[in-house]
Amino acid sequence: MSSSVPAVGDRIVHKEFPPISRHRLALYCGASGDHNPIHVDIDFAKQAGFPDVFAHGMLVMGYLGQALTDAVSPSRIRSFSTRFAAITQLGAALTCEGTVTELIEQGGEKRAKLALTTKDQNGEVKLAGEAVIAL
Amino acid sequence: MVDQSAVGRSFTPVTARVEPGRLRFFLDTLGETNPLYRGGAAAPVPPTYLFCLEMMDAAEPFEFLTALGIDLARVLHGEQRFDYHAPVVIGDTLTFRPRVASVTEKKGGAMTLIVVETAVTNQAGIHVADTSRTIVVRNARPS
């Protein structure tokens, strides 16, 4: 980011991820400390009214964060937020994107606002978020 | 159902250490290959990892649900926000102090949104981040 200043409308974040498997959810359960059984135990998920287990929102946000820090060093991220717009199902192959929406001066530095999205293979929006990065 | 009396309630602070082995498990799980995160001492942590640290080292990861009488099976994650004020690196020891910031009823009481805000400080007392999570509770329908 230091070499060139992005312009409003530039898509600076783009990354695709492999389909989410049950194994991935089990690994994320351990790796994240989020042991909520709804993501790994189909019996629990069904009792809670869902047809099957589904991805942790924070696994999906973790992918979005990965796409973001492929483009922007973590030390430049001032804020990172998202709304979990829809449940991410097993098998979802996610695409994460981020586009510059605004260039601002804030906290004594030049910053950019990014609109972030995560969509599945059908184009359904799973996460709609925003990041503010230092330029 | 959770009501306004919950606003301002705080929960047991959590102290968590950024350990390289646990972080590597997280990176491998996400297929994260960015060498920046594998640089050893003083390597940064991924932007969502603060959320994990708090859960991993909490004596009761779902304390706020139990304390507010919420069934884990009725909870969804609605929103998540991180504000970063200073770097967090491998070896840091962080303290998380969660409190309920707001409670909002939606759809005529069918859902309750609970916002829990958490200030994060490091071993030097530096305020490194604030996190905010919005929990959606799917309330039972009155019979």
**If you search the block for the tokens 């994320």, which residue do you land on?**
A28
Of the pLDDT bands very low, low, confident and very high (cuts 50, 70, 90), residue B3 is confident
Domain with B131 in it: what CATH number? 3.10.129.10
pLDDT tens readout for residues B94-129: 999 999 999 999 988 899 999 999 999 999 999 999
Of the pLDDT bands very low, low, confident and very high (cuts 50, 70, 90), residue B42 is confident
Of the pLDDT bands very low, low, confident and very high (cuts 50, 70, 90), residue B143 is very low
Asked if pLDDT for residue B93 goes beyond 60, the answer is yes
The answer to whether position B88 is within a domain reads: yes
Point out the residues of chain A with pLDDT beneath 50: 1-2
The pLDDT of residue A1 is 47
The answer to whether position B31 is within a domain reads: yes
The answer to whether position B143 is within a domain reads: no
Mean pLDDT of B75-84: 96
> From the CB of residue B119, how many other CB atoms can be counted at a distance below 10 Å?
16
- The domains located in chain A, with CATH, are 11-20+57-134 (3.10.129.10)
Sign of the dihedral defined by the CA atoms of residues A106, B94, B119, A96, in that order: positive
Task: Copy the structure tokens of residue B43.
Answer: 């390597």
Q: Which among B44, B77, B82 has CB closest to A75?
A: B44
Residue A89 exposure: Cα atoms within 13 Å on the Cβ side: 9
pTM greater than 0.90:
yes
Strand partners, B77: B135
**Burial group, residue B125, by CB count within 10 angstroms (0-12, 13-18, 19+):** exposed
The answer to whether position B20 is within a domain reads: yes
Chain A residues whose CB is inside 8 A of the B58 CB are 33
Of the pLDDT bands very low, low, confident and very high (cuts 50, 70, 90), residue B40 is confident
Of the pLDDT bands very low, low, confident and very high (cuts 50, 70, 90), residue B54 is very high
Q: Which strands form B75-84's sheet, in the order they lie side by side?
A: A11-16, A95-106, A109-119, A125-134, A77-84, B75-84, B127-138, B111-121, B93-106, B14-17
Asked if pLDDT for residue B29 goes beyond 50, the answer is yes
Pairing state between β A95-106 and A125-134: unpaired
Sign of the dihedral defined by the CA atoms of residues B70, B75, B78, B79, in that order: positive
Strand partners, B97: B119
- Residues of chain B whose beta carbon is less than 8 angstroms from a beta carbon of chain A are 22, 25-26, 28-32, 34, 36, 44-48, 51-58, 61-62, 72-84, 87, 132
Contact in structure between B61 and A35 (CB atoms under 8 Å)? yes
Q: Which domain holds residue B39?
A: 4-138
Number of domains in chain B: 1
DSSP notation for B94-111: EEEEEEEEEEEEEGGGTE
Contact in structure between B55 and A33 (CB atoms under 8 Å)? yes
The pLDDT of residue B39 is 83
Chain A residues whose CB is inside 8 A of the B36 CB are 69, 73-74
The pLDDT of residue B74 is 93
The pLDDT of residue B109 is 86
Mean pLDDT of B45-51: 97
Interchain proximity A32–B51, CB inside 8 Å = yes
DSSP B62: T
**Burial group, residue B8, by CB count within 10 angstroms (0-12, 13-18, 19+):** exposed
